[in-house]
């Protein structure tokens, strides 16, 4: 199944000040999440970001916060964002069925949120593996395997960008190509 830009929503889970430095390869995750946010912006794909207990873990890292659309952040205390009423409202308002998820940690908040979203009617979850991380490589691997077994599609940042584009004659192609190269 290919993702469709007109039917997509990007979900950035908990890429926060005190959490990001603790995950494996935080700079690669940061770079890939930034690419996804920029591609979503240029292709008019809605973005929702979450912050788990921002008083304890800090807010979304500055390198991403400035790229996010105004008002897109949902604060949460549940690991599964779908348990937060505001999050459910935002998903419903967006009306998009392809949910691309990136962020941290893959085996906790990303996994629980993706599992809840996958259970919703007419929703397909796509997990962007290289824009998702855990504190250990083993937890990251296990989360991806579990999500794939339960129907989530696993893809890379480049796969997402090129599937959103679909063809090279779109006006955004050159700019987005420069982002991923």
pLDDT tens-digit map of 72-124? 999 999 999 999 999 999 999 999 999 999 999 999 999 999 999 999 989 99
Domain ranges of the chain: 5-180
**Is the peptide bond preceding residue 106 cis, with omega within 30 degrees of 0?**
no
Lookup result for tokens 């599609």:
153
CB 129 within 8 A of CB 142: no
The pLDDT assigned to 45 comes to: 97
Give me the mean pLDDT over the 163-175 stretch: 86
Q: Could you tell me how many helices (H) and strands (E) the chain has, helices first?
A: 8, 6
CA pair distance 49, 23, nearest whole angstrom: 18
> Taking the model in full, what pTM does it have?
0.96
Kindly report the CATH number that applies to the domain delimited by 5-180: 3.40.50.850
Neighbours of 43 (CB within 10 A): 17
Report pLDDT digits (tens) over 32-63.
Answer: 999 999 999 999 999 999 999 999 999 999 99
């Amino acid at each position: 199944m290919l993702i469709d830009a007109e039917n997509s929503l990007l979900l950035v889970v908990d890429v926060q000040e005190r959490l990001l430095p603790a995950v494996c390869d935080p700079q690669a995750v940061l770079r890939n999440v930034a690419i996804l946010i920029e591609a979503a912006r240029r292709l008019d794909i809605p973005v929702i970001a979450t912050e788990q207990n921002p008083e304890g873990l800090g807010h979304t890292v500055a390198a991403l916060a400035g790229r996010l659309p105004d008002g897109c952040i949902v604060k949460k205390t549940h690991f599964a964002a779908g348990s937060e009423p505001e999050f459910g409202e935002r998903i419903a308002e967006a009306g998009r069925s392809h949910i691309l998820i990136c962020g941290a940690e893959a085996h906790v908040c990303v996994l629980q949120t993706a599992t809840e979203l996958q259970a919703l009617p007419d929703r397909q979850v796509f997990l962007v593996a290289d824009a998702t991380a855990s504190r250990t490589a083993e937890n990251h691997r296990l989360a991806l395997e579990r999500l794939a077994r339960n129907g989530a599609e696993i893809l890379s940042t480049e796969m997402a960008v090129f599937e959103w584009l679909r063809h090279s004659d779109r006006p955004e192609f050159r700019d987005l190509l420069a982002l991923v190269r």
